[in-house]
Amino acid sequence: MQKSLSCEILAVGTELLLGQIANTDAQMLSQGLSELGISVFHHTVVGDNPQRLREAVELAKSRADIIITTGGLGPTADDLTKETIASAFGKKLELHGPSLKRLYDRWTFGKMTKNNERQAWLPEGCEVLVNDWGTAPGCAFEAEGVHVVMLPGPPRECTAMWKHRARPYLEKLTGGAIVSHYIRLYGIGESAMEDKIAYIMDNAINPSAAPYAKEGECLVRVTAKGENHDVAEEMTKPLMEQICSELKDFVYGIDAESLEEVLVALLKEKNLTISTAESCTGGYISKRLTDIPGCSDVFMGGMVTYSNESKMKLLGVKEETLKAHGAVSEETAYEMAKNVAEIMGTDIGVGITGIAGPGGGTEEKPVGLIYAGISYKGETKVYELPRRKNQSRERVRLLASSKVLDLVRRTVLGIE
């Protein structure tokens, strides 16, 4: 087997060293490099300081096959990445005509100031990476046995430049094509997931399978490398099927962004409508549903009934119910779900009530106690959500809203 290439990610920017921003570019690039089978052994951050940048480049040259830099490509005197790196590799900067033209063409605020032209000066002999998402172009070259790729720092630009420019450049180096898919899971912990599929992951080299955990969810990335895209795509299939059949109903989507995206698509497909009645989550569920463009086809609206009065007035929850069982009770969740579906005339109604904390808990009804009602085509079921200790208010609310989205998905699909 070929030795895998190694990469160092070198971020340039004093704002990182002052803690004004986190180095999310390095995270995004590391994920992408891992997909390509390229090993990342170092992240380094230096400020807008030519000497320390030069030292960092010399060190990276000595220990990595690939150097990816982020930041320092802009028009100001602080932006020194190209100059410093070109000089470390004995190269000059040259004015790149098409990039200069592009800068002038894209300029929309009055006359472009001269200093902006600096962005069109690029290392001699480099491959220019056209930036369709900002002003400063990136570039790539090979010298002294090292591949250097320079990308702009702003995360939105860096992400697009990685995907559409740097990734294809590096794919050529690694040979063949690489395809990755993400299997997204809800309702199973990372270690339980690993237990279930360890026997599959251990034997999977190409295609490979790697587990990730994130925000109360898990995912498995399946990556295959083949002589071309179609071959690699085909190679992922048996492994995907094997993992999905082992993890069954925990799988909520393939290559999906989120539970809400999958749920909105599912409701559209099934031609179902939904409405929400939220107490403890205070609009979090409707916010997440409406994060998805086009959700208006399925989401008719919701109510945030934070007080007993609003539960009675807007949702028609009975005063006796609130008196006998309290606002945080199975009975109240039941009425909230049932009534919101009726009032809004939707196929599905969601009701959620609980104690998000940090205050408001009692021995009988502790912080984290949450009931969710799901009304589906006239039938309403209530669930007590799993409770975890020592969670922040934000996390209690996030996990509760995720759980409800998954409960709706399972209800619609008829999964117990």
Residue 17 Cβ vs a copy of itself, minimum distance, rounded to whole Å? 5
Rule CB under 8 A: say whether 276 interacts with a copy of itself: yes
- Please state, in angstroms and as integers, the Cα–Cα distance from residue 197 to each residue in 205, 254, 416, following that order: 14, 17, 22
Contact with a copy of itself (CB under 8 A) among 128, 200, 272, 304: 304
Rule CB under 8 A: say whether 209 interacts with a copy of itself: no
Contact 273, 300 (CB under 8 A): yes
Binding piece for a copy of itself, criterion CB under 8 A, among 84-92, 117-125, 159-167, 309-317: 309-317
Residue closer to a copy of itself by CB (options 128, 301) is: 301
**Helix or strand holding residue 4 (H, E):** none
Distance CA 92, CA 279 (A): 63
Distance CA 303, CA 97 (A): 57
Residue 12 Cβ vs a copy of itself, minimum distance, rounded to whole Å? 11
User: Binding marks (x or -) toward a copy of itself, 348..367, rule CB under 8 A?
Assistant: --------xxxx--------
Contact with a copy of itself (CB under 8 A) among 37, 52, 216, 254: 52
Rule CB under 8 A: say whether 37 interacts with a copy of itself: no
Residue closer to a copy of itself by CB (options 11, 179) is: 11
Residue closer to a copy of itself by CB (options 125, 294) is: 294
**Helix or strand holding residue 147 (H, E):** strand 146-151
Q: What residues numbered 311-330 form the site for a copy of itself, per CB under 8 A?
A: 313-314
Number of residues located near a copy of itself, criterion CB under 8 A: 75
Q: What residues numbered 14-33 form the site for a copy of itself, per CB under 8 A?
A: 16-24, 26-33
User: Binding marks (x or -) toward a copy of itself, 376..395, rule CB under 8 A?
Assistant: -----------------xx-
Contact 253, 187 (CB under 8 A): no
Closest alpha carbon to 139 in 148, 128, 147, 124: 128
Three-state helix/strand/coil letters over 12-32 = ECHHHHCCCCCCHHHHHHHHH
Kindly state the DSSP code that residue 393 receives in the 8-state scheme: H
Residue closer to a copy of itself by CB (options 33, 372) is: 33
Contact with a copy of itself (CB under 8 A) among 37, 216, 301, 326: 301
Rule CB under 8 A: say whether 106 interacts with a copy of itself: no
Contact 373, 351 (CB under 8 A): yes
Residue 39 Cβ vs a copy of itself, minimum distance, rounded to whole Å? 8
- Spatial neighbors of 232 by CB under 8 A, at least 6 apart, are 176, 177, 178, 179, 224, 225, 226
Q: Which residues pair with 10 in a beta bridge?
A: 44, 69
